[in-house]
Chains A and B, each alone.
Chain A
Amino acid sequence: MSEGAGTGAVRHDAGGMPHHHRVAIAFFLLALLGPVLGVLFGKPADLYPRMASGWFSVPMAVFGVCALFLPLRNPKDFFGGALLVGLGLFAMWASSDLPGMRGFAFGPGTAPRLFAWGLIILGVAVTVVGLFTDGPPEEPYAFSGPLGGAVLIVALIPITYYSNRIGHIVKGVPPDIIVAFVGAVVVLLLAFLLQRIAPRGPLFITAATLIFAVTVRPLGLVFASFVSLMVSGYATHEIRWIEMTIWAVVLTIFCAVLFPYGLNLPLQLWPRF
């Protein structure tokens, strides 16, 4: 999906494909996600029920059809509604294992499904409004910003999952420090790679927080704060390196004094070795 879809007019992206085709393809891929995941990770033995267990994402294809045949006059509402429906469907899938009504008493699954249904209905309503009224065009970075940040977060999942193996690559160094180091480097490299397609702001704000999260435990508050401050400074084009370094040092000292001593929070300041 590209940025800034014009209202009504057919736009062409760099690849020569009309904009609405790309949008439609994205929605069709999203619709297939459930069945494909169902086949790959599903519990039932046979192929067909496994595929069917992932039906929750299939309704998203409707948005693809809409994007193909109807002009997106109000893209903000169209995509906004589509995401709400997506969230609702996701919640339906996530709560599908919970028991519902028992006689006249609510089960654990009743309320989540009630809210999810509401979200789907409203999502459709917002989309319909988006299809039949004129609205402002999509704002820049509306997609690439959150997506870029999301990639960074998702990249941490395999690192956490395989942390046992990663931690023992180098002998003699505590495993949690290696995992923290690998996580921070991967996030930072990805952020630099992605900054060609995603805006710096969301990308490096997310990166700074993630680096803080992975390093604060094994490496201590001082190191984690300083590194994430420097990374966060890169989130704006106005960065001045010398000023930022001095400021990061000042803030790190301030935090290292305020939180553990001033507020008596049990935070570890230095690495554990």
Chain B
Amino acid sequence: MDLFINLAHGFAVAVSPTNLMLCLIGTLVGTLIGVLPGIGPLATIAMLLPITFGLPPVGALIMLAGIYYGAQYGGSTTSILINIPGESSSVVTALDGHAMAKQGRAGPALAIAAIGSFIAGCFSTVLVAALGAPLTSLALLFGPAEYFSLMVLGLVFAVVLARGSVLKAIAMILFGLLLSSVGSDIETGQSRMAFDIPELADGIGFVTVAMGVFGYAEIMRNLEQTASRDIVQSKITGLMPTWPDFKASAPAIGRGTILGSILGILPGGGAVIAAFAAYTFEKKLSSTPKKFGHGAIEGVAAPESANNAAAQTSFIPLLTLGIPPNAVMALMVGAMTIHGIVPGPQVMTKQPDLFWGLIASMWIGNLMLVVINLPLVGVWVRLLRVPYRMLYPAILIFCAIGVYSINNAPADAIMVASFGLVGYWFVKHDFEPAPMLLGFVLGPLMEENLRRAMLIARGDPTTFITRPISGALLALATLLLVLALLPMIRSKRDEVFVEGEA
């Protein structure tokens, strides 16, 4: 029963006063940005990365993780009450959740969303703990060729699951890979594409790209929509769901949790896709699909459980294999590197405090969310009255100071502005920035493993196909890509995932 001993150790780490406090701050900030439209977990984590400098690594990661799953909770609140999804993972919740609120059943909808999220959170916490050890031992079988192929598979998943054109998603990944090769060559130290600019010699900062492409571009785009937000205050009466509500939502929560857990582990997946998939799945299974969209409680329970489960299980590939499955996890890699931790199988053995502490904190964080969220619903809704014209200067100045303080380099702030413009341009031309970020993070790892594998195989590229694990991964990647490129399947795919990863 190593699992329980380890989990107990994790809880011992997580309940230290500092870590509890940081977990609370993380979940509160996460809920806050989940409530506020126009700022997502990606931009927030990028913004707060520099702030975590002074914290111990365990605490920093606990807080950043709290922001991610906290945002999944917060998004559901505004989706249900005022039909404004604060987070793209809650877009589907708005369909049935708001319909329920209009029927005067906002209370049960909120309660089921919270209960579903909590159950999903508990399940996926155990899953992360249980899968940690076997996957880590699997990682030891991996050589450079396998790592390279696994990353290719991850990128292909990101392409397949991204919104819109497959070609554009691949192009974005390549652009990210290209950006990542700016700076010094990993083997020879030769300066690459840096034009003798000292600020570029060390490569382009990860935070810089993420803040620019997600934070700044988002502000620039939001400023064009001058629509004022109408806040309809609906009275919440009777929080408790009825017995039929429970009976209807229990299987939906179960299915949503399992589907979300799977989609979270898969590279390229994430909370948004999980929520959409769970909703579609539930609608297909239902004996009364016509009720969906008109206040079916299953339509709230399934996606809310799924997005929370996925938010947590996406830590599995990061913690065990060192490969971020989506853009938010890519940021977590950035956070770990800032603290001098190399993500990968060695984290579990060398940093047991971090690994098990983080897992235990997820469960604690979920408990906190249930306890604090329901009483605070009124506060969150009132926060939505803050006009955007006051919100964005604050975001902007936090980003600017944050990125400047990483290296005390003014050039970094200029780079953020540049990437903001690049991101704005991408969005205007229907390019998804999330695959680019993934490519940017995986770039150096991929190149290193590719070069090493080629060197070991003495320049024989067939090594990627002849090694069994690597070959199987590449075959799977090819199969997925072919499926995605078949136009028939693509049109169907667009139907399911109308929103991409935030």
Which residues does A use to contact B, with CB under 8 Å? 76-77, 79-80, 83-84, 87-88, 91, 94-95, 98-99, 103-109, 111-112, 115-116, 118-119, 122-123, 125-126, 129, 138-142, 145-146, 149-150, 153, 156, 199-202, 205-206, 208-210, 212-214, 216-217, 221, 225, 228-229, 232-233, 235-240, 243-244, 247-248, 251, 255, 259, 263-267
Contact = CB atoms under 8 A, between A and B. Distances in A.
Nearest to A150: B421
Contacts of B187: 106, 108
A37 B431 CA distance: 30
Contacts of B216: 205, 209
A200 B220 CA distance: 9
B430 A112 contact: no
Contact of B223 (A150, A201, A263): A201
B53 A229 contact: no
B458 A104 contact: yes
A84 B220 CA distance: 22
Contacts of A107: 188
Pairs A-B, 3 closest by C-beta atoms: A104-B459, A201-B223, A108-B185
Given A111-B181, A255-B401, A103 B459 contact: yes
A259 B220 contact: no
A139 B221 CA distance: 11
Main secondary structure of the interface of A (DSSP, over half): helix
Interface in B441-461: 447, 450-451, 454-455, 458-460
Interface stretch (B17-25, B169-177, B344-352): B169-177
Nearest to B459: A104
Contacts of B404: 212-213, 216
A91 B390 contact: no
27 contacts: A79-B429, A80-B430, A91-B193, A106-B450, A106-B451, A106-B455, A108-B188, A112-B181, A115-B181, A122-B170, A122-B171, A126-B168, A142-B429, A145-B421, A149-B417, A153-B418, A201-B221, A202-B424, A205-B219, A206-B421, A209-B414, A213-B411, A228-B397, A235-B392, A236-B223, A239-B389, A265-B54
A135 to B, nearest CB: 9
Q: Is the interface of B mostly helix, strand, loop or mixed?
A: helix
B428 A217 contact: no
Interface string B62-90: 00000000000000000000000000000
Given A76-B430, A141-B224, A239-B389, 18 more contacts: A80-B168, A87-B178, A94-B193, A98-B185, A105-B451, A106-B447, A108-B188, A126-B165, A145-B424, A153-B414, A153-B417, A156-B414, A200-B223, A201-B221, A205-B223, A228-B400, A236-B392, A255-B398
A212 B393 CA distance: 12
Given A228-B397, A232-B396, A105 B168 contact: no
A104 B226 CA distance: 57
Report the contact-size class of chain B (Cβ under 8 Å from the partner): 35 or more
Contact of B165 (A129, A210, A240): A129
A214 B388 CA distance: 26
B417 A210 contact: yes
A172 B429 CA distance: 50
A115 B460 CA distance: 20
A125 B167 contact: yes
Given A153-B418, A205-B420, A213-B414, A141 B428 contact: yes
